[in-house]
Chain A
């Protein structure tokens, strides 16, 4: 039920092809990384998977259910989404912002504020101690954790995040990625993350989809997708392996 599928999905905007016949599957309890250069269509694909935009052609399914045939409130309970730019919240407390995730279930006020899922999500993301702090004063790393916390409060089986570690230092990036992987491993969530950091993608994702010009260029295990010739061709950079992880090293001449 909680596997996510895209079949031959295409989208054009203003006459320009953004996605061309994209197909992919994400299984329950796994982390899929969407990688590729800027403008490859990763974020657009993620928005389609979140049900925020309809494709021109193709089908998106959640288990056996067509994503766009289902009512919006059902989708909201199945899929939690983190956009590329996390909006700095108003001066509400951290717990209040996290509890906004319960709006997907039609819960607000005291019911949401005291919901066990909110307390659990605050604990999992290490924000229990900060629950009463004003959210707008959090650091970038803490804000990213709060965004993840809000997603966990939705208690949706699918988590979709667009570059959740783009603005984070290595320690916070590792922490946030670990939390996503933990959500997949421990809680059986299906996770799709757009990433630019190939090292993090190799380390934390079970499967990778490499996109180029709106199409899937490669799909599979990180070792296969991050093979030197493929990365060189798509990103125009050479890589060096540090341990098991390929790291972009130099621009191709």
Chain B
């Protein structure tokens, strides 16, 4: 008998990497601070420059890196498992598009001037509106209905976002919108963490409850249903997958902007290490996504002396070659 396929070991290893990267994110930044001294000041409640930079800038940024990266990785693994399609990506549901539209509307209407929280809140409202519309569209429908509803919603929100860009009166605002759409964790504060966290945590919990059903679905929908898994309906697996990914991704995109490829690439890279069993891929994808985004954010910060590279651009630059490699491998395998 062969050894049981790894999953927990990989998760632990990746979680350790995330902890190391998290610490590196706190230590490393544009301003040079004495790390240990800043931690001591912070714990003692002393408002030194180092403690303020650590508490107000680096800590929320690193925490968001873990949450956003983790959510994107986990959502990708969940959707790919549910749709039995390795090309499924969190953006496929159109909820990211809803979040982007909500944030763009905040830019357009000038609500951003009222509060720093207006932008992520606008994104969150856009994401939740998209979730509600998606739920109404999908109802009791299956995977195909979900795919079509997601495509329709993506197209619609992209069109409205383009329309807003088209109508925006100031070129500066247009530039700001484009910049935001590329995704970033720069200058995020604890307000952003607070806005993102409830939806993200609820979504993560919902996604993590789907593991066994995703395993059963590898045998086909009828076999999964015959093994006692309710697939559609309000209490079904599809509802937990859609609501979980939509809530979590929507909440994250609302504060970080659109960050592509993490949800697509991370499950791809880890699938072989988890024995191709969808349930074993969930936690490793969460930690893998968090690690990838923390690495990418650290690279962004290292290059911050020139024009700042946006996080979404970097993840796309890293993610695309992985897919080129995949294409070449598929050709070689004769698929």
Contact = CB atoms under 8 A, between A and B. Distances in A.
B276 A91 contact: yes
Contacts of A76: 226-228
B230 interface: yes
A83 B220 contact: yes
A85 B4 CA distance: 29
A177 B83 CA distance: 33
A52 B276 contact: no
B225 interface: yes
A73 interface: yes
A85 B1 CA distance: 29
A104 B230 CA distance: 12
Chain B, interface size category, equals 20 to 34
B223 A73 contact: no
Given A93-B2, A96-B275, A114-B1, A75 B215 contact: no
Contact of A72 (B2, B4, B230): B230
A181 B240 CA distance: 40
A79 interface: yes
Interface in B201-238: 211-212, 215-216, 218-220, 222-223, 225-230
B37 interface: no
A110 interface: yes
B223 A83 contact: yes
B215 A81 contact: no
A100 B222 contact: no
A140 interface: no
Contacts of B191: none
B277 interface: yes
B219 A132 contact: no
Nearest to B211: A108
17 contacts: A72-B229, A83-B222, A87-B220, A90-B218, A93-B2, A93-B5, A95-B1, A96-B275, A97-B219, A100-B216, A101-B227, A103-B212, A103-B215, A103-B216, A104-B227, A104-B228, A106-B212
Interface of B: 1-2, 4-5, 7, 211-212, 215-216, 218-220, 222-223, 225-230, 275-277, 279
Given A76-B227, A92-B276, A103-B215, 8 more contacts: A72-B228, A75-B228, A87-B223, A90-B218, A90-B276, A101-B227, A132-B2, A150-B219
